[in-house]
Amino acid sequence: MAGAAQTAAVSGMRLALELILFPGFAFCALAGMVLSWLDRKVTARVQWRVGPPLLQPVYDLVKLLGKETIVPRDAFVFLAAPLIGLAGVTLVGLLVGQATLRPDLQTWGDLIAVAYLLTMLPLGTIIGAAASRNPLASLGASREMKLVLAYELPFILALAVAVIKADYALSLGEILKVQWRDGIAASSLSGTLALLIAVLVTQAKLGLVPFDMAEAETEIMGGTTIEYSGAPLAVIKLTKMMLLFVMPALVATLFLGGLRLDAGAYGVGMGALKVLALAVVATLIRNTNPRVRIDQALRFFWGPVAVLGFVAVVCATLGY
Amino acid sequence: MGITLNALTRSLSVFHLAASPCNNCDIEILDCLTPKYDLERFGIQLIGSIRHADALLVTGSVNRKAAERLKLLYEQAPKPCVVIAIGGCACSGIMFRDNYNFAGPVDRLVPVDIYIPGCPPKPEAMIAGVAKLIAKVRGEKA
């Protein structure tokens, strides 16, 4: 009995460490900060500028911790909402990281958990925006809701392709192992289509141009985040930075074979390169496109992208 | 100087208030963000919401209608927040100072941390002004 309790305590401790340090919160935050600097640097280079220094994300976050936090009446929901998104993104990072570190770990349906957890960020954003009582924030919240409805359908179809390709396995570890055995999912026709859809959905999930209508600095002055200041704004910014790492990592895991530890330095390097490439693709898309209206985004995701998704699913079931 | 204040001087988020200007200063402000000057090198960014701002940038001869907005925006900004008056109108009112609808200059309405005169001031002058302001916040000699 004592042995079992000890084992449970040890595995609980290990899970806590994984959640807080690696590959959970701290690691995702660090990687996200580096990628958000890269995003701004690449943007600057595209516009023929020099761009900010490497520590800029740190300055931005630390600065906000020293600022006054202004809250509306009923501040509890307003202040708790950013933490919902932070928790969701951290957990997705943890699940993807665990699948990469220990693909043999027996998990059932962690992919379904990932799909649900990824909607916690827009959920928190919508709740926080609604609690701020700002008309522009409610406009942003309404757009965010429509955007979630728009991209979830193609996203689930893309996930379905990854599942079908991995012999109907619903665990990230299994999807990785099948890809290491038979070649990456994106090497087939259906996998390529699903990767394309996943890249577009990543753009929308990150809230980057052309799908940044919920924030739209130049139009509705920050939309959903308009009333946030100080530490809560730092949490929102940190969550966005972490998602800039977590989403590319998830897409790389599902369609590009992810990061392979047993292949040594080559596997790790290639894994990092895949995430980097997907993040830079997101940056380049946002720098070369104008913002679309919310109805255009809805029509885009439910129209051509969803049709492409159905075609990909059919191709995957037929074995292409 | 605290860590957060140090970080603030390296990451100024600027809210731009056009308080009845002729738009000349505003165009010169946007020049500061172009490839030639690139203020993002120093972490300076224009932002959309006053709640995200560390600096309130005011241009124009503030008229009676804009004066209410200016005071409201200053109260809505999370502190610490600095106020920068850009252009002759915002600094002193120049030829508009005897106008019937003139409510400025800016320092009659809100405390101003730095004045950058000129009609309009060149982007170099604005960058020099902001550098002096940052030195002042950091407690150094400019």
**Residue B60 belongs to some domain of the structure:** yes
A257 contacts B82 by C-beta, under 8 angstroms: no
pLDDT-based confidence at A22, cuts 50/70/90?
Answer: confident
A157 contacts A313 by C-beta, under 8 angstroms: yes
Give the pLDDT score at A207: 86
Give the pLDDT score at A2: 66
Query: Is the per-residue pLDDT at A1 higher than 60?
Result: no
Give the pLDDT score at A261: 83
pLDDT-based confidence at B140, cuts 50/70/90?
Answer: confident
pLDDT digits (tens, 9 = 90+) for B62-101: 989 999 999 999 999 998 889 999 999 999 988 888 889 8
Asked if A60 reaches chain B (Cβ–Cβ under 8 Å), the answer is yes
- Residue-range definition of the domain harbouring residue B62: 3-137
SS3 call for A209:
coil
**Residue B23 belongs to some domain of the structure:** yes
Query: Is the per-residue pLDDT at A222 higher than 80?
Result: no
Count up the domains in chain B and report the number: 1
Sheet of strand B55-59: strand arrangement: B45-46, B13-18, B55-59, B82-86, B114-116
Count up the domains in chain A and report the number: 1
**Residue B12 belongs to some domain of the structure:** yes
pTM of the model: 0.91
**Residue B125 belongs to some domain of the structure:** yes
pLDDT digits (tens, 9 = 90+) for A76-115: 999 999 999 999 999 999 999 988 888 887 777 889 999 9
Asked if B1 reaches chain A (Cβ–Cβ under 8 Å), the answer is no
Residue A51: closest C-alpha in chain B:
B41
- Residue-range definition of the domain harbouring residue A287: 21-318
**∠ at Cα B68 (B97, B8), nearest 5°?**
95
| DSSP class of B23 | S
SS3 call for A240:
helix
**Residue B142 belongs to some domain of the structure:** no
**Distance from the A87 Cα atom to the nearest Cα atom in chain B, whole angstroms:** 23
* B72 CB-near residues (< 8 Å, 6+ apart): none
Please give the single-letter amino acid code of residue A214.
Answer: A
pLDDT-based confidence at A252, cuts 50/70/90?
Answer: very high
- Nearest CB among A59, A228, A229 relative to B11 is that of A59
Listed by number, the residues of chain A in 224-253 with a beta carbon closer than 8 Å to a beta carbon of chain B are: 225-230, 233
**Residue A53 belongs to some domain of the structure:** yes
**Residue A16 belongs to some domain of the structure:** no
Burial of A73 (0-12, 13-18, 19+ CB in 10 A): exposed
Residue of A62, A78, A227, A287 to mutate when probing chain B, most B C-beta within 10 A: A62
Asked if A56 reaches chain B (Cβ–Cβ under 8 Å), the answer is yes
pLDDT digits (tens, 9 = 90+) for A282-316: 999 999 988 888 899 999 999 999 999 999 999 99
Mean pLDDT taken over chain A: 89
How many of the other CB atoms lie within 10 Å of CB of A314? 13
**Distance from the A142 Cα atom to the nearest Cα atom in chain B, whole angstroms:** 19
**Angstrom distance (rounded) from CA B42 to CA A182:** 49
The CA-to-CA distance between both ends of chain B, in Å, stands at: 16
**Residue A290 belongs to some domain of the structure:** yes
**∠ at Cα A129 (A124, A135), nearest 5°?**
160
Please give the single-letter amino acid code of residue B127.
Answer: I
For B62-83, letters b (16+ CB in 10 Å) and e give bbeebbeebeebbebbbeebbb
CATH of the domain at B123: 3.40.50.12280
Burial of A38 (0-12, 13-18, 19+ CB in 10 A): middle
Which positions in chain A touch B3 (Cβ < 8 Å)? 62, 66
**Angstrom distance (rounded) from CA A232 to CA B92:** 38
* A38 CB-near residues (< 8 Å, 6+ apart): A276, A279, A280, A283
- Look at the block and give the residue holding tokens 């400019």: B142
pLDDT-based confidence at A154, cuts 50/70/90?
Answer: very high
Query: Do residue B40 and residue A63 have CB atoms under 8 angstroms apart?
Result: no
Burial of A207 (0-12, 13-18, 19+ CB in 10 A): buried
**Angstrom distance (rounded) from CA A120 to CA A91:** 10
Query: Do residue B78 and residue A229 have CB atoms under 8 angstroms apart?
Result: yes
How far is C-alpha B98 from the chain's CA centre?
A: 23
